[in-house]
Amino acid sequence: MMDTGTLSLFVLAVLALFISPGPNMAFVLSHGLAHGVRGGFAAAIGISAADLVHTLCAATGVTALVAAWPPSFDVLRYAGALYLLWLAWQALRPAGARGDKAPAPPAGFARIVRMAWLNNLVNPKALLFFMVFLPQFVNPARGHVTLQLLVLGVLLSALALVFNTVLGAFSGQIGRRLQARPGAATFQRGLLALTMAGLALRLVFLDRPSKGI
């Protein structure tokens, strides 16, 4: 269905995108530092799961329908910003509730997966990315355009899972070493809250595309 050359080019393009700093990288790194290797892995799973949803929406035309409604970009980014600010507040709550000397309990695995999934899902740039990026590697002459989009999206999601798992393991090991130091719990909570707040501001000040979403 798809030639090896196209798939190889796609993989290289995806890997180049992964190593560029972005919101997903920041999310994985911050949760790995705050919650260990397990937290980084949970974030990786949530991001890849959201990528699969984006792929399905792009392949079935749902993304195009959303993009056809001009206010959708603002709705998604402000909803995402509010959600990230809520996550920042949740990260700081343990410090206010029990005092700085109390270590922050690790967030549940499923909870981090849901947070990463929703954070990626409400990112309008991610929605636009799948709508614009995947079709560039589709060859209509080979037929089954929808199937080609699905294959590319699943491959991207799998690559994202591997890359973000390694990234989460790396940051998790650093976070584990930091835990032995005085004030580590406060630092980890503060860093996580600062990252979430920074991602929220990034969404608020995103440039709105001139056409569509």
Encoded tokens for 18? 């992964």
Question: Are 125 and 210 a contacting pair, CB within 8 Å?
Answer: no
101 lies in a domain? Answer: yes
The number of CA neighbours under 13 Å toward the Cβ of 141 is 1
Q: How far apart are CA 147 and CA 144, in angstroms?
A: 5
Question: Are 176 and 36 a contacting pair, CB within 8 Å?
Answer: yes
Question: Where does 19-71 have alpha helices with state H?
Answer: 23-60, 62-67
Question: Are 84 and 202 a contacting pair, CB within 8 Å?
Answer: no
As for how many domains the chain has, the answer is 1
Q: How far apart are CA 206 and CA 200, in angstroms?
A: 10
13 lies in a domain? Answer: no
pTM (whole model) above 0.75: yes
Residues of the chain with pLDDT under 50: 95-96, 98-104, 212
3 lies in a domain? Answer: no
Question: Are 183 and 37 a contacting pair, CB within 8 Å?
Answer: no
What range does the domain containing 168 cover?
A: 23-204
pLDDT of the residue at 95: 47
pLDDT of the residue at 100: 46
Q: How far apart are CA 39 and CA 108, in angstroms?
A: 8
Question: Are 47 and 27 a contacting pair, CB within 8 Å?
Answer: yes
Q: How far apart are CA 130 and CA 204, in angstroms?
A: 21
DSSP helix/strand/coil, 117: helix
175 lies in a domain? Answer: yes
Encoded tokens for 76? 């998604």
pLDDT of the residue at 101: 46
Residues comprising the chain, all counted? 213
9 lies in a domain? Answer: no
11 lies in a domain? Answer: no
Q: How many CB atoms lie within 10 A of CB 181?
A: 9
pLDDT of the residue at 49: 97
Question: Are 122 and 56 a contacting pair, CB within 8 Å?
Answer: no
8 lies in a domain? Answer: no
Q: What is the pLDDT of residues 59-83, one digit of tens each?
A: 998 888 877 787 887 888 898 889 8
115 lies in a domain? Answer: yes
Q: What is the pLDDT of residues 103-122, one digit of tens each?
A: 445 568 999 999 999 999 98
Encoded tokens for 182? 């005085």
